[in-house]
C-alpha cells in the first residue's frame, strides 16, 4: 500500500515538474471563446542571427470533431515566438507545437476548451445571396468602411477615439494601412532599401494593437497595401522571400476574427495577372480558406482573377473625378457578370486631389453614394479634406495622412449622409435583394422581386417601377436621404407599371414593400 502511494506521489510530482517546465517555455490559455484569439507565447534563450529565417515554428490543432489544421507561428522580437489560432468549434481542442530545425525549447503540446461566445466569426460571402457579406454564424452585414492610412502608427488613445467616433457614424469596417517607403512591412537596410528577410516589428505590432481595438468595437479590417509592389513600395522579385512575407503575415493575423487578406493596392500597376493568381492561391492555402481574400483593382477587368477560387469579392476603384454621380451604375453589371460582393474601395474620397471640386460637393457625393448602394455596392469612404476646406494636393500628404483625433478640423461633410444611408440599408432585408436596373426608370434599383424594392431618384421627379410580375398590395413611401425623414405614400397594387412622383426635385429614395 505504501509502495503504491509512493508511485502515485511520484507521478504527481513528475506531472507537476512537467507542467512547470511547460509553463516556463510556453504560455497558452486553457479556455477561449468560439472565434476568439488563442495565443501561445514561447521564449528561447538562444540567439539567432536572423530568427525570421533560421527557425520555423509549426503548430497543429485537432478540433473536437477530429479535423486538423496546421499553421505557422512567428517571431515577435526579444527571443519570443507566438502561435495564434481562431477556434471555430465548441469543445476540447488539442495542440502540438514543434520547430524546424528541431528545438525542444520551441516545442510543446496541450489542450484548451473552446466555449460559446458572443462573437459572430470572420467575414464570409453570404451563402444564400453572393451580393452580400455575412459573418461566419450566418448574420448578414452591410459594410460601411473608413480609410485609415497610418493605422499601424496611431497612438492607442487616438485610434480608440477615432474608432469610437466612426462607430457612432455607422461605420463597421476599416481599410488600412497605407504603408509608406519609411514605414514598410520590412526593416530598412543602411542604404534605405527594404530587407526582405527581416520584418519591421513596430509596424506589425502596431497592427496587432489596431486589430484588438477594432475587434472590441466590432470593426472588420480590409488591408490596403501590405506586400508592396505599388504606390511607391518596393516589389519582392524573389519567390522565397515573397513566400516568407505571406507566411509571416498569415501567422500574425490568423487568430483574429476581424481580418481579411488583400495583399496590395491597384495590382495592375505592379503585377502580372499570373503573379496575382499565384499570390491569391498561396494566401488561400495558408489561411485554409477560413478568411476572405481579394485584391484591389484599378480596372476590375481580369475575369481570370475574378473567377479564381480564392477571390472572394470585387474591390474596385473608380474615383468621382467629376459630377457624374451616375458612373457607378456599372456595379450592377459587374455583379451579374461575376456574382460576388462589390466593395467600392476607392470611389468616395472626399477632398481627394483627383476629384477636386466634385469631391467637395456634398450633394454630388451623396448622390454617388446612393447610386453605389442601390447598384449593389458597399462603401469605403476617405476623408481627405484639409484646411481651408479644399481638396488634397501632393504637398498636403503630411496633413491629410493624419487622422481623426489628430487633425479634426475641418472634417469632411459626408459623415451624416453616409450614416443615413447605412441605417437605411440595415433596415432592409438587403441580403434578399439584388440590383435590378431594368425594373426602374432611373436604372438604380435594388430589389427582391415581388416583395421589396428600393429605387433611387437622384433628381426627384416622376419615376416608374415595374411590378407586373407579382400581384398584391404594396406599401410605398419616400425616404429623404438628406435628413433621414420619411414621407408616406400609401398602398399601391401591382397590376401594371406604377408611376410615382417624388415630393420635390431633390434626390429621394422610393421604398415599395409587399404588405
Q: Which residues are paired to 57 by β-bridges?
A: 99
At residue 468, the pLDDT reads 73
pLDDT for 109-131, tens place per residue? Answer: 999 999 999 999 999 999 999 99
At residue 83, the pLDDT reads 98
At residue 11, the pLDDT reads 39
pLDDT band at 409 (very low <50, low <70, confident <90, very high): low
At residue 398, the pLDDT reads 53
CA distances from 53 to 18, 56, 101, 309 (A): 30, 7, 11, 30
pLDDT band at 266 (very low <50, low <70, confident <90, very high): very high
Average pLDDT, the chain: 91
Q: Which of 19-28, 407-416, 419-428 has the highest mean pLDDT?
A: 419-428
At residue 5, the pLDDT reads 38
Does 77 score more than 70 pLDDT? yes
At residue 385, the pLDDT reads 85
pLDDT band at 182 (very low <50, low <70, confident <90, very high): confident
What grid cell was written down for 165? 467616433
pLDDT for 138-168, tens place per residue? Answer: 999 999 999 998 889 888 998 998 999 999 9
359 in Cβ contact with 352 (< 8 Å): yes
Would you identify the CATH topology of the domain 123-434? TIM Barrel (3.20.20)
CATH number at 2-115: 2.60.40.10
Lowest mean pLDDT among 155-159, 213-217, 422-426: 155-159
Average pLDDT over residues 204-232: 96
pLDDT for 4-56, tens place per residue? Answer: 434 433 333 333 333 334 444 789 999 999 999 999 999 988 889 999 999 99
Q: In angstroms, rounded to a whole number, what is the distance separating the alpha carbons of residues 157 and 159? A: 6
At residue 7, the pLDDT reads 45
pLDDT for 460-469, tens place per residue? Answer: 999 999 997 6
Burial class (CB in 10 A: 0-12, 13-18, 19+), 113: middle
List, in order, residues 6 or more apart from 271 with CB less than 8 Å away: 229, 230, 235, 264, 279
Would you identify the CATH topology of the domain 436-514? Immunoglobulin-like (2.60.40)
Domain residue spans in the chain? 2-115, 123-434, 436-514
List, in order, residues 6 or more apart from 87 with CB less than 8 Å away: 32, 34, 35, 36, 38, 61, 63, 93, 112, 114
Whether the domain at 2-115 and the domain at 436-514 fall into the same CATH topology: yes
pLDDT band at 1 (very low <50, low <70, confident <90, very high): very low
Name which residue leads in pLDDT, 402 or 253: 253
Q: Phi and psi for 63 in degrees, rounded to 5?
A: -80, 170
β-strands 38-43, 220-222: how paired?
Answer: unpaired
466 in Cβ contact with 443 (< 8 Å): no
Does 515 score more than 60 pLDDT? yes
Q: Which residues are paired to 497 by β-bridges?
A: 466
pLDDT band at 190 (very low <50, low <70, confident <90, very high): very high
Average pLDDT over residues 260-285: 97
Amino acid at each position: 500500500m505504501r509502495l503504491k502511494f509512493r508511485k502515485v506521489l511520484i507521478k504527481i510530482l513528475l506531472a507537476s515538474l512537467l507542467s512547470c517546465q511547460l509553463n516556463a517555455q510556453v504560455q497558452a490559455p486553457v479556455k477561449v471563446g468560439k472565434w476568439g484569439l488563442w495565443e501561445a507565447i514561447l521564449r528561447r534563450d538562444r540567439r539567432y542571427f536572423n530568427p525570421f529565417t533560421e527557425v520555423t515554428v509549426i503548430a497543429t490543432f485537432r478540433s473536437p470533431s477530429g479535423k486538423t489544421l496546421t499553421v505557422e507561428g512567428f517571431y515577435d522580437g526579444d527571443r519570443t515566438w507566438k502561435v495564434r489560432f481562431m477556434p471555430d468549434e465548441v469543445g476540447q481542442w488539442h495542440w502540438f507545437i514543434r520547430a524546424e530545425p528541431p528545438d525542444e525549447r520551441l516545442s510543446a503540446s496541450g489542450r484548451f476548451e473552446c466555449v460559446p461566445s458572443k462573437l459572430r466569426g470572420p467575414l464570409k460571402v453570404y451563402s444564400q445571396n453572393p451580393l452580400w457579406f455575412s459573418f461566419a454564424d450566418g448574420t448578414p452585414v452591410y459594410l460601411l468602411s473608413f480609410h485609415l492610412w497610418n493605422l499601424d502608427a496611431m497612438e492607442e488613445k487616438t485610434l480608440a477615439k477615432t474608432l469610437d467616433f466612426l462607430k457612432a457614424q455607422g461605420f463597421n469596417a476599416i481599410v488600412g494601412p497605407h504603408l509608406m517607403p519609411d514605414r514598410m512591412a520590412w526593416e530598412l537596410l543602411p542604404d534605405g532599401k527594404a530587407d526582405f528577410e527581416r520584418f519591421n516589428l513596430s509596424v506589425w505590432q502596431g497592427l496587432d494593437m489596431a486589430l484588438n481595438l477594432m475587434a472590441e468595437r466590432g470593426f472588420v479590417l480590409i488591408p490596403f497595401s501590405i506586400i508592396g509592389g505599388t504606390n511607391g513600395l518596393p516589389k519582392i522579385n524573389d519567390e522565397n522571400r515573397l513566400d516568407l512575407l505571406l507566411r509571416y503575415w498569415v501567422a500574425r493575423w490568423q487568430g483574429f476574427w476581424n481580418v481579411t487578406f488583400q495583399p496590395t493596392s491597384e495590382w495592375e500597376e505592379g503585377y502580372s495577372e499570373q503573379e496575382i493568381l499565384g499570390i491569391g492561391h498561396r494566401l488561400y492555402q495558408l489561411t485554409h480558406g477560413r478568411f476572405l481574400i481579394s485584391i484591389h483593382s484599378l480596372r476590375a477587368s481580369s475575369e481570370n482573377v475574378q473567377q479564381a477560387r480564392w477571390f472572394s469579392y470585387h474591390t474596385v476603384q473608380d474615383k468621382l473625378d467629376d459630377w457624374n454621380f451616375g458612373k457607378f451604375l456599372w456595379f450592377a453589371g459587374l455583379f451579374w457578370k461575376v456574382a460576388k460582393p462589390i466593395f467600392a474601395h476607392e470611389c468616395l474620397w472626399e477632398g481627394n486631389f483627383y476629384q477636386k471640386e466634385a469631391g467637395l460637393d456634398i450633394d454630388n457625393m451623396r448622390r454617388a453614394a446612393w447610386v453605389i448602394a442601390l447598384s449593389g455596392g458597399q462603401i469605403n469612404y476617405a476623408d481627405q479634406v484639409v484646411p481651408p476646406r479644399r481638396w488634397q494636393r501632393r504637398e498636403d500628404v503630411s496633413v491629410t495622412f493624419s487622422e481623426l483625433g489628430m487633425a479634426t478640423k475641418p472634417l469632411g461633410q459626408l459623415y451624416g449622409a453616409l450614416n443615413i444611408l447605412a441605417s437605411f440599408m440595415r433596415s432592409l432585408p438587403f441580403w434578399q435583394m439584388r440590383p435590378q436596373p431594368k425594373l426602374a426608370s432611373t436604372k438604380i434599383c435594388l430589389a427582391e422581386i415581388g416583395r421589396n424594392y428600393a429605387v433611387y431618384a437622384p433628381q426627384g421627379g416622376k419615376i416608374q417601377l415595374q411590378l407586373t410580375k407579382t400581384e398584391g398590395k404594396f406599401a410605398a413611401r419616400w425616404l429623404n436621404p438628406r435628413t433621414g425623414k420619411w414621407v408616406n405614400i400609401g398602398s399601391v397594387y401591382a397590376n401594371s407599371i406604377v408611376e410615382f412622383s417624388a415630393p420635390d426635385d431633390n434626390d429621394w429614395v422610393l421604398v415599395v414593400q409587399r404588405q
